[in-house]
Structure 1
Amino acid sequence: MTQDVPALPPIKPNRTIRGASAILLPFLEDGAIDWESFDAHLERTAAAGLTPAVNMDTGYVNLITSKQREAVLTRTQDVLGGGAFVAGAFVKDEPGAAFDLDGYALEAERITARGGQPVVFQSYGLTAGDAAEILPRYEAFGERAGEFIGFELTPDLAAFGKVYSLETFRGLLGLKRCVGSKHSSFHREPEWERIRLRDELRPDFRLMTGNDFAIDMVMWGSDYLLGLSTFAPDLFAQRDKMWAEGDPAFFELNDELQYLGRFAFRAPGAGYKHSAAQFLKLRGWLRTDLTHPNSPERPDSDVAVLRECAERLGVLS
């Protein structure tokens, strides 16, 4: 007897895709943050119609200092002048640590005080245990911080990450102050499961794909918060507009962007941040292609492949 396979959620044509783009934090030769390039990338991302996302994995949130994270928030507020943004609420801990509610509440306060919305980064203390243990921690966070976006992060990108059970995701849907969640398992099936459940229980809940290997998940009803979109926020906005208008050119542009994503996010996955710096330097948007010193680097030979990608995308002649 064959096992019943759950039906996929239906493709949702002509819908408006809500895109958020994780901003790369660039560096200079002396190890300082390249604030000039950061500011410009914030501006162009917002101008493209995407919501900037700062202090995410793309911004080395787990590698920079608390002081640097706060500086990122302050500059984001200043550059956007009241415009919308989201930001990672990150608390560093160790395996076996207790949930640090006060630490998370402080991070959230720093974000909301500047007009942003928190994206709750995972930690060992937050994700330990099952749904009955995890969900009250999110509920307590919401009571302290207000509305927030959850985050499921594959351990391939961060050791403290965890992809929750569908039961736990169902519980997140039941938390009023949890208004969305970024899903970064890098697999389609668990995201399809979440789309079906979201559509059934809470259609207004913002499920945001973080699957840089399957950026077409937007066709089934995910929005997105991607690292790949920092390579080309202008082209992602163009792609999204094509989908809303029913333009078949969506598929070819999506294919080219997906090829770039498959190359940039190959193992080790965290090396994509250096790929982003190399690509943005090719576009003339960064002064260097340097990465955080504790983040994996890509070989110089990657630049030739990235140049071909840029040419095929029409952003480099």
Structure 2
Amino acid sequence: MNSASLDPTAMIKPRRKVTGISAILLPFLDSGEVDWESLEAHIERTANAGLTPAVNMDTGYTHLIDEQTKLEVLKRTREVLSGGKFVAGAFVKDEPGAEFDLDAYSREMTLISEYGGLPVVFQSFGLIEQAGPEIVESYQALGRAVNEFLGFELTQDLAPFGKVYDLETYAGLMAIPQCIGAKHSSFHREPEWQRLQLRDQKRPDFTVFTGNDFAIDMIMYGSDYLLGLSTFAPDLFAKRDAMWEAGDPAFYELNDQLQYLGYLTFRSPSAGYKHSAAQFLKLRGWTKTNNTHPDSPPRPESDIAVLKELGERLGVL
């Protein structure tokens, strides 16, 4: 499949019902402890808006927090949602040159399933440093641990252990029955259009979740989403999605405003978006502080005035 075979204008799918999954920011108190009250409220708020909460993702510092915190997040998510749907990151920490750790991944995925969540398989050095056929074999082995899971391609702009697969490897991933979808976070449109085209040809029930916070209108072309940007405003993302389904032209202006928020907050270093989210949620009165994990990149305090103006334009401040 090459660029010449792509016609994005022909791929637009109007009045489509969008599936939205929103990564939940893990908030912190001035003491350095997790702000569990604000976390639980945001999980509930996200679900009530009609989006599926995603916990222990990059937005939840899954690569920085300890196992006890991850487990507590799963427990509280299950309790807040009372059996409602959620997804959670299955992350295995390793180093360059490491072997693929099937047992560790299987434990993480099984644990998430036991708590009622759908596992999202984070990449690791041991996974991505294999050749394409071995990567597919690794995912096939993971499919024996749980009934369903989501894959995840992650740009190295966000994590050094990420990789965007070639289309042959992606097709192999798509052919695994237990893999019901995958998040694509290359931050580029063309490879995502290629995946949508491949999905439509090979497996129409497979869900391509855009993770492109610089192109949230990819839902127009058939992507659903699993975004960090939506944690800033799950209410507005749900409103935007409903507008697209209804054919409401107001979709475009609201999408533009949300996209501007994305361009500001996901600027380099992209991982700093988590501090931007904390600043914005604090402005909305949804968290007690704008603190983040101490190992996460900060944003300048001067951003707060810009975020306040954007919040006012969006009608939430």
Q: TM-score, normalised by structure 1?
A: 0.98
In structure 2, the CA distance between the partners of 1:112 and 1:4, relative to structure 1 (3 Å rule), is: closer
Distance in 2 (CA, whole Å) between partners of 1:196 and 1:288 is 43
CA contact (8 A) 2:17 2:245 kept: yes
With 56-65 and 139-148 compared, the bigger mean Cα shift is at 139-148
What is the one-letter code of the residue matched to 1:314? G
1:131 to partner: Cα distance: 1.6
Distance in 2 (CA, whole Å) between partners of 1:70 and 1:145 is 18
1:146 to partner: Cα distance: 2.1
1:67 to partner: Cα distance: 1.1
Residue in structure 1 matched with residue 157 of structure 2 by the alignment: 156
Distance in 2 (CA, whole Å) between partners of 1:157 and 1:284 is 27
Distance in 2 (CA, whole Å) between partners of 1:207 and 1:130 is 23
- 1:224 is paired with a residue of what secondary structure? strand
Could you list the structure 1 runs, at least 4 aligned residues long, displaced by more than 6 angstroms after superposition: none
Per-residue Cα deviation, 1:271-298 (whole angstroms, up to 9, x for no partner): 0000000000000000000010000000
Residue in structure 2 matched with residue 289 of structure 1 by the alignment: 290
Residue in structure 2 matched with residue 267 of structure 1 by the alignment: 268
What is the one-letter code of the residue matched to 1:87? A
Residue in structure 1 matched with residue 97 of structure 2 by the alignment: 96
1:144 to partner: Cα distance: 1.4
Distance in 1 (CA, whole Å) between partners of 2:6 and 2:154 is 24
Alignment of 1:199-218 (within 5 A): 199-218=200-219
Q: Name structure 1 gaps, 5 residues minimum.
A: none
Alignment of 1:184-203 (within 5 A): 184-203=185-204
In structure 2, the CA distance between the partners of 1:73 and 1:4, relative to structure 1 (3 Å rule), is: closer
In structure 2, the CA distance between the partners of 1:101 and 1:292, relative to structure 1 (3 Å rule), is: same
Identity of aligned residues (%): 66
Distance in 2 (CA, whole Å) between partners of 1:131 and 1:7 is 27
Distance in 1 (CA, whole Å) between partners of 2:131 and 2:20 is 31
Residue in structure 2 matched with residue 79 of structure 1 by the alignment: 80
Residue in structure 1 matched with residue 26 of structure 2 by the alignment: 25
Alignment of 1:229-248 (within 5 A): 229-248=230-249
- 1:145 is paired with a residue of what secondary structure? coil
Distance in 2 (CA, whole Å) between partners of 1:6 and 1:266 is 28
1:173 to partner: Cα distance: 1.2
Per-residue Cα deviation, 1:99-125 (whole angstroms, up to 9, x for no partner): 111100111111001100000000011
Q: Name structure 2 gaps, 5 residues minimum.
A: none
Distance in 2 (CA, whole Å) between partners of 1:187 and 1:51 is 24
Residue in structure 2 matched with residue 57 of structure 1 by the alignment: 58
What is the one-letter code of the residue matched to 2:43? L
Residue in structure 1 matched with residue 311 of structure 2 by the alignment: 310
What is the one-letter code of the residue matched to 2:25? L
- 1:144 is paired with a residue of what secondary structure? coil
1:130 to partner: Cα distance: 2.2
Distance in 1 (CA, whole Å) between partners of 2:133 and 2:243 is 42
Residue in structure 2 matched with residue 6 of structure 1 by the alignment: 6
Distance in 2 (CA, whole Å) between partners of 1:4 and 1:189 is 11
Distance in 1 (CA, whole Å) between partners of 2:6 and 2:266 is 29
Residue in structure 2 matched with residue 300 of structure 1 by the alignment: 301
What is the one-letter code of the residue matched to 1:88? G
- Could you say what the CA RMSD is over the residues aligned between the two structures, in angstroms? 0.9
Per-residue Cα deviation, 1:13-51 (whole angstroms, up to 9, x for no partner): 001000000000000011000000000000000000000
| Alignment size in residue pairs | 314
Residue in structure 2 matched with residue 176 of structure 1 by the alignment: 177
Distance in 2 (CA, whole Å) between partners of 1:136 and 1:10 is 31
Residue in structure 2 matched with residue 44 of structure 1 by the alignment: 45
CA contact (8 A) 2:6 2:193 kept: no
1:10 to partner: Cα distance: 1.2
Residue in structure 1 matched with residue 135 of structure 2 by the alignment: 134
Say yes or no: does 1:257 pair with 2:224.
Answer: no
1:5 to partner: Cα distance: 5.3
Residue in structure 2 matched with residue 15 of structure 1 by the alignment: 16
Per-residue Cα deviation, 1:160-182 (whole angstroms, up to 9, x for no partner): 01010011111111111100000
In structure 2, the CA distance between the partners of 1:175 and 1:284, relative to structure 1 (3 Å rule), is: same
